[in-house]
Copies of this chain bind each other. A is one copy, B any other.
Amino acid sequence: TKYDFDLAAVYVSDAQYNRNIFFDASPQAVRLYKFYNHWGLQVLIYLFIIVDLGLAAFEEPALIPDMPIWASSIVELICLMAFTARLTHYAKVIPREKFWLDPKNIFIIVIISLSLIDMIIYVGLKTAGHFGVRWSRVLRPLLLVNITEGRQLRRAFRSIRNALPQIFYVFLLFMFSVLMFSLMALKLFGKRGLETVEGIKYFTNYLEIVFDLYVLVTTANSPDVMMPAYNYSSFFAIFFIVYILINTYIFMSVFLAVVYNNYKKYLKEEVRQLVKAKRRKMLLAFSVLQQFGLGQEPVVSKAHWNQLVCLVQPGISSAHRELLWSVFDDNNKGYIGKLEFIQLPDLLNIQVITMKTRPHPLKRWFPAAYDSSTSRFVQRVVQHKGFVYIYDLIILVNAVFIGLDEENPLISNAEWVFLALYLVEILLKLYICEPRAFFSRHEFWNWFDTIIVVAALIATIFNWALSSSGGYTSRQILDIVFILRVLRLIRVVDSIKRFRTIINTLIKIGPTILTFGQLILVVYYIFAMVARIYFVVFHIVVVIIIINIFVAFILEAFFVEY
């Protein structure tokens, strides 16, 4: 039935995107679940979280103090309603007992409730003219971790939790080393009556020494912290060099080694869990679609398989589908067994570049003109290596022009020429390349070019309109124009093969780098909200733990991808 195929397709796409959710298998829940996983809703929920987090800029102590309380409260209320709606949607998809057993859901409910209570108290206190604190802001970043889409982030947190015991012992040893060096510093410098540039007594208080030397590990107060001692005798430089060698280089490397070791060990376990969950989902899909009687074992026929694949990946070309089928059914039996069936998501995740499947629309619409000798000449020129070189040269010249003074009218007018040239480049490329292939999902640089150039064009026209109408120039718009212009120059790295390899590796691991960005955002936001940043604790959490896991990830990712 149609429902069976829908259910199987949901299982397959769960397996394909590593979703491990035990949803309700009733027809209505399956429909709701499919809608729940729609990319639009996922983008929307992230937008609401960003808005919610961004509210901190308008709340006391405000970065931008123009917003009245009622406005920010309404915006927050809308966000909270969105989170509630999303959670309600989820509750309708999941069996009730599963829903209440999942701590993530409880967490979100608690966050929403506490935020609401806090908001009401705060608005009440403020309208009564009292002092109020928005303490619930600390909870906001935890939404990022607890929403369904926060899978990667939760994995990163688990990775941290696993590395903690080992890091703890190295950290104790590191702190012991800092304490010993501080004691030495107290005895060496404390009695010498040295003073800092500000005229404060130098290294006489033990706890202050500990703090200063801890900060020295990050080199944040270097070389200021060592100058009084160095000015007294250059031999004291040895103390600080030994300190930095031991505590910055050796200990930080040991931290990295311990974290990397743990990361590698834990990664294997995570991958094993993912593979298991994927297999489970595919077995469920198979049990829904299995047919008896065709072979000795239950199988899935080619017709059913085709229907399923079209549901899972609506845009798939029939050539691609045939290719996938031929991988499984190499004897051309017309059906596949369980073992072949469960490999489908892995094959769907492989990027197949379907070359020239569709003819260029201009060729279809004006075949004579498109194949004329002039048109062919243009196509040959655009496909020629020289075309790339000429545009690299144009970019370099553009870089020089950007560096020059933009208030010179010649320079600012030249910018129109460059914009036109870039537009022409994109149009010429579109002339030889089928538009849907040009803007396919994995063509990072085409998207990059087009977005940057179009945005620059809009911003430049807007800026020109503003300045020519009222003689008024907006610095904000100019800033955006400048940033876009400089970003356009990045394109040049794609022309050099060696650079392309490195950049492509970075682009591939980009989504996971974003996870680490979120991780740092969560930690930073909480620290920034709790009070002023406690430097040392923040340093331990971010530099020693997160950055090291990040480096460990980059190391491992580069070994695999590079």
Chain B residues with Cβ below 8 Å from A187 are 402, 406, 479, 482-483, 485-486
Contact call B257/A173, Cβ cutoff below 8 A = no
Per the 8 Å Cβ criterion, residues 449-497 of A in contact with B are: 475, 479, 482-483, 485-486, 489-490, 493
| Nearest B residue to A407, CB-CB | B191
CB <8 Å contact, A257 and B562: yes
Q: Is there a chain B Cβ closer than 8 Å to A77's Cβ? A: no
Known A173-B493, A249-B547; contact A206-B256, beta-carbon cutoff 8 A: no
Stretch at the interface among A108-116, A217-225, A334-342: A217-225
Chain B interface: which of A26-34, A48-56, A281-289, A498-506? A498-506
* CA distance in complex: A463, B552 (Å): 50
Tell me if A234 is interfacial: C-beta within 8 Å of chain B: yes
The reply to whether B250 and A169 form a contact with Cβ atoms under 8 Å apart is: no
Q: Per a CB cutoff under 8 Å, which of B218, B403, B551, B558 touches A186?
A: B403
Question: Complex Cα distance A253/B562, Å?
Answer: 14
Does A254 touch B at the CB level, under 8 Å?
yes
Instruction: Select the residue from A180, A187, A517 with max chain B CB neighbours within 10 A.
Output: A187
Band of interface residues on A: 35 or more
Is A490 a contact of B180 with CB atoms below 8 Å?
Answer: yes
Residues facing B in A164-195 (CB within 8 A) are 169-170, 172-173, 176, 180, 183-184, 186-188, 192
A260's partner among B184, B479, B555 (CB-CB below 8 A) is B555
Residue with the greatest number of chain B CB neighbours at <10 A, chosen from A192, A257, A258, A475? A257
Q: Is A554 an interface residue (CB 8 A)?
A: yes
Q: Knowing A184-B482, A403-B183, say if A513 contacts B250 (CB, 8 Å).
A: yes
Residue-wise, chain A 496-537 has the 8 Å CB interface mask toward B (1 for contact) of 001100110010000001000100000000000000000000
Residues of B within 8 A of A381 (CB): none
Contact status A498-B169, CB under 8 Å: yes
A395 CB, min distance to chain B CBs, angstroms: 11
A325 at the interface (CB under 8 A from B): no
Task: Closest B residue to A399 by CB, please name it.
Answer: B183
| CB under 8 Å from chain B, chain A span 235-255 | 245, 249-250, 253-254
Q: Does A550 make an interface contact (CB < 8 A)?
A: yes
Judge whether A250 and B184 touch: CB under 8 Å: no
Are A489 and B260 within 8 A (Cβ)? Answer: no
Interface residues of A in 252-280 (CB under 8 A from B): 253-254, 256-258, 260-261
Q: Is A559 an interface residue (CB 8 A)?
A: yes
Chain B residues with CB under 8 A of A513: 250
Question: Contacts of A256 on B, CB cut-off 8 Å?
Answer: 551, 554-555
Known: A206-B403, A403-B186, A562-B261. A493 touches B169 (CB 8 A): no
Do B188 and A249 touch across chains, with their CB atoms under 8 A apart? Answer: no
Any chain B CB within 8 A of the CB of A63? yes
Least Cβ–Cβ distance between A194 and chain B, in angstroms: 13
Kindly report which residue of chain B lies nearest to residue A505, judged by CB atoms: B254
| Bound CA span A503–B184, Å | 20
Option from B253, B482, B554 in Cβ contact (under 8 Å) with A551: B253
> A177 to chain B: closest CB distance in Å?
9
Query: Does the CB pair B180–A257 fall under 8 Å?
Result: no
| Contacts known (A222-B220, A249-B547, A499-B172); A559 close to B186, Cβ less than 8 A | no
- Chain A interface mostly helix, strand, loop or mixed? helix
In the complex the two chains form, what is the Cα distance from A475 to B191 in whole Å?
10
Residue with the highest number of chain B CB atoms closer than 10 Å, among A219, A506, A554: A554
**Known interface pairs A173-B502, A218-B219, A249-B547; A257-B184 also in contact (CB < 8 Å):** no
B-side contacts of A222, CB under 8 Å: 220
Q: Are B254 and A554 in contact (CB under 8 A)?
A: yes
CA A260 – CA B258 in complex, angstroms? 16
Nearest to A192 among chain B residues (CB) is: B475
Chain B residues, CB < 8 A from A176: 493, 499
A192 to B170, CA, bound (A): 47
Contact between A257 and B558, CB atoms less than 8 A apart: yes
What is the bound-complex CA distance between A85 and B219, given in angstroms? Answer: 45
A interface residue numbers (CB < 8 A to B): 63, 169-170, 172-173, 176, 180, 183-184, 186-188, 192, 206, 218-220, 222, 234, 245, 249-250, 253-254, 256-258, 260-261, 399, 402-403, 406, 475, 479, 482-483, 485-486, 489-490, 493, 498-499, 502-503, 506, 513, 517, 547, 550-551, 554-555, 558-559, 562
Besides the contacts A184-B483, A256-B551, what 20 more A-B pairs have beta carbons closer than 8 Å?
A: A169-B498, A169-B502, A170-B502, A173-B493, A173-B502, A180-B490, A183-B399, A184-B482, A187-B406, A187-B482, A188-B479, A188-B482, A206-B403, A219-B219, A249-B551, A257-B554, A257-B558, A258-B558, A260-B555, A261-B562
Q: 16 A-B contacts, Cβ less than 8 Å apart?
A: A172-B499, A173-B502, A183-B486, A184-B482, A187-B402, A187-B482, A188-B482, A192-B475, A219-B220, A245-B517, A249-B551, A253-B551, A254-B502, A256-B554, A257-B562, A261-B558
